[in-house]
Amino acid sequence: MANFFNRFKSGTPKTNSSNQTPVLQAIPQHVAIIMDGNGRWANEQGLPRTAGHRAGLERIRDAVTLCLEVGVKHLTLYAFSTENWKRPQDEVGFLMNLFEEALMKEVNLLHQQGVRVKFIGFRTGLSPSLVKLMEESETKTANNQSLTLNFAINYGGRPEILNACREIAVAVKKGELDPGQVTEELFSGYLFTAGQPDPDLLIKPGKEVRISNFLIWQLAYSEFYFSELYWPEFGKDALMEAFKYYGRKERRFGGIKRGDTAECIKE
């Protein structure tokens, strides 16, 4: 299992002398993060699981800050899945209250930083007060362009795909769409992430190697980075290591490596 994980390497990263921001070989334009391990981290610290969720807020601040520093344009954070409703009612209630508290405290700062806040997932089942704060946050930050920050709340990849299929089926039934017009591009336009590029990099702390029903369609050609750190431990240095890992990858999207064409012809 350890071979699946990307561990830290020793040494000081290169920096840009003008602002001390590390120089990266390539910058992912869209980063998706599964914020996993809050509860397990808290348990190992002898703390209640709720303490782990609150500690995870600090790592969100780190992630937004670093993405702004290096030039990432889209950041999608998996905050609450459609399966998380199965958790104890007290924990679910705490998370929903924490979402509201965080929005009331953080949106003004995000707005000042030029961050556009969006929410992906199903709003049915969420409290009216939370939905109201979500809508107000989206409206307030709608014209910002430094970074699009997607929070996936009450989100599931399979339900998202089913929802898109149903909407397309309705459009076909009404005669607004011909089945032959359904392309990958059109289908993507029915997903919650419509209008945004697919993630270049998926990051999952928490010691588990899985994608947890997250962005199933969108992750088809993403690079995956798994870490043995829990999310409350995954600070800016850890995130930078993930970005450096991405920078070392040669993304071929089903093609071949540069320079391999001549060898293929010779054979």
Annotated catalytic sites, by residue?
Answer: 36, 84
Report the C-alpha gap between 160 and 158 in whole angstroms: 5
Which are the contacts of 264, defined by CB distance < 8 A and separation ≥ 6? 256
| Distance in angstroms (rounded) separating the CA atoms of residues 140 and 109 | 12
Contacts of 263 (CB under 8 A, 6+ apart): none
Q: What distance in Å separates the CA atoms of residue 188 and residue 169, rounded to the nearest whole number?
A: 15
For residue 149, which of 138, 136, 161 has the smallest C-alpha distance?
138
The owner of tokens 């699946």 is: 4
Residue type at position 143:
N
Both tokens assigned to 178: 């011909």
Q: Is the CB of residue 78 less than 8 Å from the CB of residue 152?
A: yes
